[in-house]
Amino acid sequence: MNSKVPQFNGGQLIVQALETHGVERVFCVPGESYLPVLDALYDSPIQTTVCRHEGGASMMAEATAKLTGKPGICFVTRGPGATNACAGLHVALQDSTPMILFIGQIGQHIREREAFQEVDYRRFLGTSVKWVAEIDDPSRIGEFISRAFHTATSGRPGPVALALPETTLAALAGNTPITPWQQIETHPGAQDIEKFAALLGQAKKPMAILGGSRWSPDAVASMQQFAQRWQLPVSVSFRRQMLFDHTCENYAGDVGIGINPALAKRISDSDLVILLGGRFSEMPSQDYALLKVPSPQQPLVHVYPGAEELGRVYRARLSINASPTAFVDAIETLSPSISASAERTADVKLCHENYLSWSTPDDIKTPGDVQMGQIMAALQSTLPSDAIITNGAGNYASWIHRFWKFRCYGSQLAPTSGSMGYGLPAAIAAKLHQPDRCVVAFAGDGCLQMTMQELGTAMQQQANIIILVIDNGIYGTIRMHQEMHFPGRVSATDLINPDFAALAQAYGGLGLTVTRTEHFTSALHQALRASIPSLIHIKTSAQAITPTKTLDEIRNS
């Protein structure tokens, strides 16, 4: 009887480990430094999506993780490949998204000579990920990858990086059986729930602010029912708008850039603020002004899955180390007193009315022949309610944040890190994950040009997404701040742009151009009928820099 243990090379062991942990798709730009992995993927059921740039690949992996709650997987080659991928790592870090970046690496035998594309990833990525390591022994591949999955998903989720030396990938070892990773949950204690119920029961003007990651469709639905039962107004943090149905009577608006002044005042006047799932960092906190640091003026309940974040910025009246899903599950059976519910009815109604009056685009008039308010209204009336909306960074995103009504979990992909170029890769990832959903990417002209080569990925993957390019010929956000601080001194913010519709056609997609508002609906319907990626090039006036102020008004203010 032959009892010899089967041997596999390092590339095969990595792919086997990914299969064990339930990975269905990886994103990559190929490189000779990890050829054994690519060869092993040839025989694997794991789908491989080849991208055009490592930044796009890492963003696609991050976006997939946002939708699934499971680590997104990205493979890149050493040196330039790894440095290019850092854009997606930064999104994953600041957005608290689980992700694993695998990096091809030089062989161990030539370290410390500054070999071709040699980088010390422990030093280079040390502050950009939750954990970074290099696998020198192929027999430990299963151990390292198991740790990577648990590290990326536990507490506050985030990215992990594993470097793969060529010598490790070529070496042989046995496959040590390992069980699939499991989400490590953090649950609130019974006393925490009792204290929370007492604080909420006593409050007359509470406000919940939902944010962060580690949510689920069931948790979002349960939180909405809880808010209705307790007559609790609910707002959402910056670019986390899919965490609450905007048509629900308890919805109060988003706490992000360009916040509704009425909502900002309402939070300041609250006698109980509940931060659920989010860190409430610079953007949602309005430069840390809504809640004083370190001791907020309002009684604060902070619920967060990572203990290290509790008390780091805000000292709460009650800190609860729990994930949003576990916390919502724990409060599901709490029932308010009739009197407490009655006291809040008028307040909840007023909060929602303030949101509606702020977020109805019908009477918004901006310079130029294209009115983005009317385009947003057309999108709202045409797209399915579960459409996935993606965007990168730029002033164009204010139209989404303020006027789009998100209805369900898993319908928004946007970087809280403010990374340009995110919308297109995220849309591709969303369409590959849920091919039957309508996926629409918003991008500014500057934003799209960060990753527009991923149009090739969309075509190769037959991902019939819709891309809306809002083209005003400038780096709009920077120009806005330039006019605020250095009025009239325009420097480095003008853009000479290509014909984006022609570019889409060159890739084999559908390209359409809109220069007047009345042309948009027809273009949208053509895009919705298309079986190929579609791009609608929307030319707007540079003066229409925000929904309420022109560049001239900002310059002269």
Task: Report if residue 291 sits inside a domain.
Answer: yes
Is there a domain that residue 37 lies in? yes
CATH number, domain containing residue 127: 3.40.50.970
Answer yes or no: is 185 within a domain.
Answer: no
Residues 196 and 345 in one domain: yes
The answer on 383 and 460 residing in a single domain is yes
Does a structural domain hold residue 178?
no
Residues 370 and 334 in one domain: no
pLDDT of res. 287:
95
What does the alpha-carbon distance between residue 329 and residue 344 come to, in Å, rounded to a whole number?
23
Boundary (domain end) residue, out of 311, 340, 358: 358
Same domain, 36 and 129: yes
Question: Within a domain: residue 99?
Answer: yes
Q: Of 337, 358, 379, which marks where a domain is finished?
A: 358
From the list 314, 291, 294, the residue with the least C-alpha distance to 304 is: 314
382: in domain? yes
What is the b/e burial string over 348-386, where b = at least 16 CB atoms within 10 angstroms of the residue's CB?
A: beebbebbeebbebeebebebebbbbbbbbbbeeebeee
Residue 183 lies in a domain: no
pLDDT tens track, the chain, 557 positions = 456 889 999 999 999 999 999 999 999 999 999 999 999 999 999 999 999 999 999 999 999 999 999 999 999 999 999 999 999 999 999 999 999 999 999 988 988 898 888 899 999 999 999 999 999 999 999 999 999 999 999 999 999 999 999 999 999 999 988 999 999 999 999 999 999 999 999 999 999 999 999 999 999 999 999 999 999 999 999 999 999 999 999 999 999 999 999 999 999 999 999 999 999 999 999 999 999 999 999 999 999 999 999 999 999 999 999 999 999 999 999 988 766 677 789 999 999 999 999 998 877 899 999 999 999 999 999 999 999 999 999 999 999 999 999 999 999 999 999 999 999 999 999 999 999 999 999 999 999 999 999 999 999 999 999 999 999 999 999 999 999 999 999 999 999 999 999 999 999 999 999 999 999 999 999 999 999 999 999 999 999 999 999 999 999 98
- Residues 306 and 214 reside in one and the same domain: yes
Residues 6+ apart with CB under 8 A from 515: 369, 370, 539
Give the Cα separation of 144 and 33 in Å (integer).
19
CA distance 483 to 557: 9
Taking alpha carbons only, the member of 246, 257, 250 closest to residue 281 is 257
Do 201 and 140 reside in the same domain of the chain?
no
Residue whose pair of structure tokens reads 């499971």 in the numeric block: 70
Question: Same domain, yes or no, for 322 and 400?
Answer: no
Q: Is the residue at 428 inside a domain? A: yes
- The reply to whether 502 and 449 lie within a common domain is yes
Amino acid making up residue 100: I
Find residue 47's DSSP bridge partners: 25
Are residues 393 and 450 located together in one domain of the fold?
yes
Helix (H) / strand (E) containing 215: none
Q: What is the pTM of this model?
A: 0.96
- Quote the domain boundaries for residue 402: 361-556
Query: What letter represents residue 442's amino acid?
Result: F
Q: What integer pLDDT is reported at residue 1 of this predicted model?
A: 44
276: closest CA among 203, 212, 351? Answer: 212
46 and 137 share one domain: yes
CATH number of the domain at 248, please. 3.40.50.1220
Is the CB of residue 330 less than 8 Å from the CB of residue 304? no
* Model pLDDT, residue 110: 87
Last residue of a domain, one of 334, 358, 382: 358
* 444 and 497 belong to one structural domain: yes
Q: Would you state the pLDDT for residue 497?
A: 97
Are 41 and 157 part of one and the same domain? yes
pLDDT score at 2 = 53
Sign of the Cα pseudo-torsion (195, 156, 97, 397, in order): positive
Q: How many domains does the chain have?
A: 3
